[in-house]
């Protein structure tokens, strides 16, 4: 941002050489003059003079070999004090001219600064939003989880599909955003997948787009916060699949072709940990508080530092302790590589449900609430930053209660 020069205009006096009279002039400094590198001092004589100036004998202005001059006294408003009524009127006139000049300088500087801001804004409005969007991902999410980064990158890809590789900021208005929203709601999933994006996926990508718009407003690319004016795509409540305690025990008794997968899945059901947190869990993160085993770790998704007590069964699933820096569930692969052995294992156990690894976390939450653990404790154990996220599981419990209410049926009491 350009720094203002803060020009100040002051009423000054110059002594006439041959008589007791002082000429009045305005001095303006510093003034930027075209063609001059350094700021200039500008003097403007007002064709007025005074003879009855009241000088301050305690404040020396200039000393020569033959004389000493003093600074004039000024009142609280900075106006030079004179003794005669005529000179007082003259000094009031001089101060009025000073105010006029000061206002001119102030306005000139403000308009110059405004011109600079407008020029910078115009330049920014012609930059490529796609390039900015990609830079935000690298800067804002360099330490985020893989799933968050993928959502940001996928949002950019769909934006490119919608409007091309180059989208200048000046193109983006309310209509552009609404059109992109409509595009997402009918966009094909891409890759080898058939069908269109689910509403929840479209909602996620549009929320990412809005977050990028918000950051662009903060960084000065927009003069108004356009993200606050556009409505999000509402998310639809999805069914959270989970396992009953009987189904979990069936899985315990059923062999799995991938032993570390079986142990990690059951560990998730006993602790509620995500796959990403289990995958990076090390032995030095497992400790005891008295006789209570616990894990201390930083959640990969939320970056929250957590400690969690775990059961003896969960500890036993971890196996024999190894070196502190070793992974507890060594060779646990990414979710995409465990889908097939996981589905085979679930099918062999006779369970007819669409179970993914994340369902074991859902199972933990549902069983905890079913057994009377309060929702705030469950929310904390899951590492949720907002208890509203946990309330999804509470609705599952309410459905079970409603079904339970109809479970006992007596014969008609009308007879």
One domain for residues 387 and 275: yes
Most confident of 29-33, 156-160, 191-195, 334-338: 156-160
Question: How many CB atoms sit inside 10 A of residue 29's CB?
Answer: 15
Q: In what order do the strands lie in the sheet with 22-31?
A: 8-15, 22-31, 40-50
One domain for residues 318 and 373: yes
Q: What is the CATH number of the domain that holds 398?
A: 1.10.443.10
Residue 259 reports pLDDT greater than 60: yes
8 Å CB contact between 242 and 396: yes
Residue 297 reports pLDDT greater than 70: no
Q: Domain tally for the chain?
A: 3
One domain for residues 20 and 107: yes
Whose CA is closest to 295, among 261, 271, 322, 327? 271
| Ramachandran angles phi, psi of 157, nearest 5° | -60, -40
Q: What is residue 1's predicted lDDT score, i.e. its pLDDT?
A: 44
At 346, list the tokens: 């679930």
Residue 403 reports pLDDT greater than 60: no
Q: What is residue 367's predicted lDDT score, i.e. its pLDDT?
A: 86
Which one is predicted more confidently, 146 or 405?
A: 146
Residue 207 reports pLDDT greater than 50: yes
Whole-number average pLDDT of the chain: 85
Query: Is 233 inside any structural domain?
Result: no
One domain for residues 276 and 191: no
Q: Which of 124, 144, 173 is the last residue of a domain?
A: 124
Lowest mean pLDDT, pick from 31-35, 73-77, 141-145, 251-255 = 141-145
One domain for residues 254 and 401: yes
One domain for residues 71 and 100: yes
One domain for residues 22 and 107: yes
Q: What is residue 65's predicted lDDT score, i.e. its pLDDT?
A: 80
One domain for residues 114 and 140: no
One domain for residues 352 and 279: yes
Query: Is 282 inside any structural domain?
Result: yes
Position 244 confidence tier, pLDDT thresholds 50, 70, 90: confident
Residue 155 reports pLDDT greater than 50: yes
Domain range for 71: 8-124
**Region 308-318: what's the mean pLDDT?**
89
Cα separation of 74 and 88, whole Å?
12
One domain for residues 161 and 250: no
Helix or strand run (H / E) with residue 345:
helix 335-348
Q: What is residue 160's predicted lDDT score, i.e. its pLDDT?
A: 95
Per-residue pLDDT reduced to its tens digit, 2-28: 455 689 999 999 999 889 999 999 999
Q: Which of 70, 105, 124 is the last residue of a domain?
A: 124
Residue 404 reports pLDDT greater than 60: no
**Region 188-196: what's the mean pLDDT?**
78
């Amino acid at each position: 941002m350009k720094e203002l020069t803060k020009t100040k205009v002051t009423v000054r006096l110059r002594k006439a050489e041959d008589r007791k009279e002082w000429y009045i002039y305005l001095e303006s400094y510093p003034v930027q003059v075209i063609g001059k590198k350094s700021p200039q001092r500008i003097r403007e004589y007002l064709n007025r003079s005074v003879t009855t100036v009241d000088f301050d004998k305690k404040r020396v202005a200039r000393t020569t070999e033959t004389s000493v001059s003093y600074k004039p006294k000024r009142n609280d408003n900075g106006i030079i004090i004179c003794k005669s009524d005529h000179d007082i009127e003259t000094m009031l006139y001089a101060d009025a001219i000073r105010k006029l000049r000061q206002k001119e300088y102030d306005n000139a500087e403000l308009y110059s600064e405004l011109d600079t801001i407008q020029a910078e804004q115009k330049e920014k409005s012609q930059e490529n939003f796609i390039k900015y969007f990609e830079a935000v991902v690298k800067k804002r999410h360099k330490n985020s989880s893989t799933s968050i980064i993928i959502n940001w990158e996928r949002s950019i890809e769909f934006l490119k599909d919608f409007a091309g590789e180059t989208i200048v900021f000046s193109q983006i208005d309310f209509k552009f955003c609404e059109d992109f929203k409509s595009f997402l709601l009918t966009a094909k999933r891409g890759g080898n997948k058939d069908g269109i994006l689910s509403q929840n996926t479209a909602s996620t990508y549009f929320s990412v787009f809005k977050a990028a718009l918000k950051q662009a407003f903060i960084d000065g690319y927009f003069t108004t916060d356009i993200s606050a004016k556009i409505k999000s795509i509402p998310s639809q409540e999805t069914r959270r699949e989970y396992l009953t305690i009987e189904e979990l025990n069936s899985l315990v008794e059923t062999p799995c072709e991938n032993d570390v997968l079986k142990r990690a899945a059951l560990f998730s059901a006993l602790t509620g940990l995500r796959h990403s947190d289990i995958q990076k869990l090390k032995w030095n993160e497992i400790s005891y508080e008295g006789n209570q085993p616990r894990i201390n770790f930083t959640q990969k998704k939320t970056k929250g530092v957590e400690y969690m007590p775990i059961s003896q069964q969960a500890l036993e699933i971890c196996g024999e302790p190894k070196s502190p820096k070793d992974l507890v569930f060594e060779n646990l692969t990414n979710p995409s590589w465990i889908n097939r052995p996981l589905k085979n294992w679930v099918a062999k156990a006779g369970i007819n449900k669409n179970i993914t690894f994340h369902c074991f976390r859902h199972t933990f939450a549902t069983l905890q609430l079913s057994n009377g653990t309060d929702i705030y404790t469950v929310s904390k154990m899951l590492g949720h930053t907002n208890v509203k996220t946990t309330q999804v599981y509470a609705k599952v419990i309410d459905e079970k209660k409603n079904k339970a209410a109809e479970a006992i049926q007596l014969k008609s009491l009308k007879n």
